[in-house]
């Protein structure tokens, strides 16, 4: 199924849930104890017609709507610190909603923070050590910039046209899916070569988008902000030897403790799907002493997750579906009855 068609089908599903009010009559069964939301960028909408990473960005207005609907639908806003105890006491209190932001983007401070303050919302920011140090690879943004600046791209001997906006979207989708499916070293090396040819400095993208350690230190002193770890270099951990994964998980914890004065209690696995984080990574996170670790496997939280705190699912606030219908569906948990085939746990 092509990307555009897939998005239209998903959006139609959200609207069907709203039209049938399934979010209300199935919600009490589907939503479990609560949910953890995943966010990346929060910033004003862009008029650029080429936005292949648009799913990672929502507007401040959509964040504000999300927080209003969270409370309207009966959820309490909770911190990630509270999750283990709330899951261990499944019959107590209203359902809860936790806010988490990955990578450490500056727009989280500039655009999300004022809205979060206005709603008295606790939140966790997962920091990648190399990004905060002004280094590292935001390779998905690098790929976007490469294709924005070129009319053609050669991938595995195949020339991809990238002249029009439609061709650029297609070239990005083709390159992204192909490189993501293979070894990460090939992905990074290939995009690095394209960046060099296009005159793109990867570290400049990091410095432009991500907060520095001094900025993070200021933010960490704000009330209701918790700093979590997102590894050192943002690798897809499951694609690397155990020693590499262990170092990424433990050294990022140590770096944040050294730079910000407090060791992080929570971990977010980069990318976070089953090809990036699995039982080995869950064990390594537990051995490192984290209280919780979050994936991007979709789903709400149920009492059973009290025994799988290193493999917690999350629900993405996806920039492609910024509507009230989509929000109500996601908060209800109804879509995950289908996506997870009725299972509460997805930890294999």
Q: What's the token pair of residue 302?
A: 């149920």
Q: With 0-12 CB in 10 A as exposed, 13-18 as middle and 19+ as buried, what is 45? A: middle
Q: What is the pLDDT of residue 1?
A: 43
Among residues 85, 92, 70, 88, the alpha carbon closest in space to that of 317 is found at 70
What is the percent of the chain with per-residue pLDDT over 90, rounded to a whole number?
83
Q: pLDDT per residue over 262-285, tens digit each?
A: 999 999 999 999 999 999 999 999
Lowest mean pLDDT among 93-97, 178-182, 206-210: 93-97
Q: What is the mean pLDDT of the chain?
A: 93
> What value does the mean pLDDT take over residues 64-79?
96
Count CA atoms within 13 Å of residue 308 on its CB side.
18
Question: Contact at 8 Å (CB) between 31 and 38?
Answer: no
String of DSSP letters for 4-21: HHHHHHHHHHHHHHHHTT
The pTM score is 0.94
For residue 14, the model assigns a pLDDT of 66
Closest CA to 268 of 241, 237, 303: 237
Give the pLDDT confidence of 140-155 residue by residue, as tens digits.
999 999 999 999 999 9
- Name residues whose C-beta falls within 8 Å of residue 164's C-beta, 6 or more positions apart in sequence: none
pLDDT at 25 over 60: no
Q: Give me the pLDDT at residue 245, please.
A: 98
């Amino acid at each position: 199924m092509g990307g555009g068609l897939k998005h239209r089908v998903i959006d139609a599903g959200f609207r069907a849930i709203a039209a049938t009010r399934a979010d209300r009559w199935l919600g009490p069964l589907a939503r479990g104890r609560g949910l953890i939301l995943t966010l990346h960028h929060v910033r004003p909408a862009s008029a650029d017609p080429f936005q292949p990473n648009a799913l990672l960005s929502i507007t401040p207005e959509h964040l504000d709507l999300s927080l209003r609907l969270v409370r309207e639908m009966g959820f309490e806003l909770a911190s990630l610190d509270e999750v283990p105890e709330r899951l261990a006491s499944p019959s107590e209190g209203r359902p809860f909603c936790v806010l988490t932001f990955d990578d450490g983007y500056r727009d989280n401070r500039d655009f999300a923070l004022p809205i979060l303050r206005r709603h008295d919302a606790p939140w966790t920011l997962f920091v990648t050590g190399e990004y905060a140090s002004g280094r590292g690879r935001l390779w998905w943004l690098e790929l976007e910039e490469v294709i924005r600046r070129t009319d053609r791209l050669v991938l595995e001997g195949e020339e991809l046209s990238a002249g029009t906006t439609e061709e650029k979207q297609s070239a990005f989708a083709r390159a992204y899916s192909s490189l993501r499916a293979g070894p990460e070293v090939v992905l990074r090396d290939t995009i690095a070569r394209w960046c060099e040819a296009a005159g793109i400095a990867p570290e400049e993208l990091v410095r432009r988008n991500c907060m520095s350690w001094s900025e993070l230190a200021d933010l960490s002193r704000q009330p209701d902000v918790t700093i979590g770890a997102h590894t050192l270099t943002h690798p897809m951990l499951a694609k690397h030897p155990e020693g590499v994964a262990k170092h990424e998980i433990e050294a990022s914890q140590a770096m944040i403790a050294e730079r910000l004065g407090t060791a992080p209690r929570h971990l977010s696995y980069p990318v976070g799907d089953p090809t990036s984080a699995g039982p080995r990574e869950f064990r390594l996170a537990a051995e490192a002493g984290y209280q919780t670790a979050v994936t991007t496997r979709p789903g709400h939280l149920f009492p059973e997750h009290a025994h799988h705190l290193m493999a917690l699912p999350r629900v993405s606030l996806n920039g492609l579906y910024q509507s009230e219908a989509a929000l109500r569906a996601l908060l209800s948990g109804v879509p995950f009855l289908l996506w997870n085939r009725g299972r509460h746990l997805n930890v294999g």
